[in-house]
Amino acid sequence: MKPTWKQSSAALALASAFGLTSADAGAIGLKEISPQSAQCIACHKQENRAIYEQWGSSKHFRGNVGCFECHSAEKTDKDAFLHHGQTIAVLVTPKDCSRCHEREVTEFIGSHHSKAGRILGSLDNVLAEVVEGNRGMITPGFPHGNSAAAVNGCWQCHGSEVKVLPGGEGKLDPATWPNTGIGRLNPDGTEGSCSACHSRHSFSAAQARHPDTCGKCHMGPDHPQKEIYEESKHGIAFFANIAKMNLDSPKWIVGEDYSAAPTCATCHMSQTPTQPVTHDIGMRISWNNRPAISTRPEVSDAKMGLPGKDVPWQKRRANMQDVCMNCHNKNWVENWYVQYDALIELYNEKFAKPGLALYDAAKPLLRPVKFSNKLDFIWFEIWHHEGRRARHGASMMGPDYTHWHGTYEIAQHFYVKFIPELEHLIEKGNNSDDTTKQEAAQNLQKLLDETLETPNHRWFIGKMDPDEKAAREKAAQEFRERYK
CA 340 to chain centroid, in Å, comes to: 20
What residues have CB less than 8 Å from 83, skipping those under 6 apart? 170
Reported pTM: 0.92
3-state class (DSSP) for residue 90 = coil
Residue 52: what are its φ and ψ, rounded to 5°?
-60, -40
d(CA 134, CA 145): 8
d(CA 242, CA 240): 6
Beta-carbon neighbour count of residue 106 at 10 Å?
14
Per-residue pLDDT of the chain (484 residues; tens, 9 = 90+): 333 334 445 555 555 555 554 444 444 579 999 999 999 999 999 999 999 999 999 999 999 999 999 999 999 999 999 999 999 999 999 999 999 999 999 999 999 999 999 987 899 989 999 999 999 999 999 999 999 999 999 999 999 999 999 999 999 999 999 999 999 999 999 999 999 999 999 999 999 999 999 999 999 999 999 999 999 999 999 999 999 999 999 999 999 999 999 999 999 999 999 999 999 999 999 999 999 999 999 999 999 999 999 999 999 999 999 999 999 999 999 999 999 999 999 999 999 999 999 999 999 999 999 999 999 999 999 999 999 999 999 999 999 999 999 999 999 999 999 999 999 999 999 999 999 999 999 999 999 999 999 999 999 999 999 999 999 999 999 999 999 8
Name the residue type at position 203.
Answer: F
Where in the chain are the domains?
5-71, 92-203, 219-330, 333-452
d(CA 439, CA 37): 72
First and final C-alpha spacing in the chain: 71
Angstrom CA distances, 67 to 73, 86, 201, 231, stand at 12, 11, 10, 41
What residues have CB less than 8 Å from 378, skipping those under 6 apart? 413, 417, 418, 421
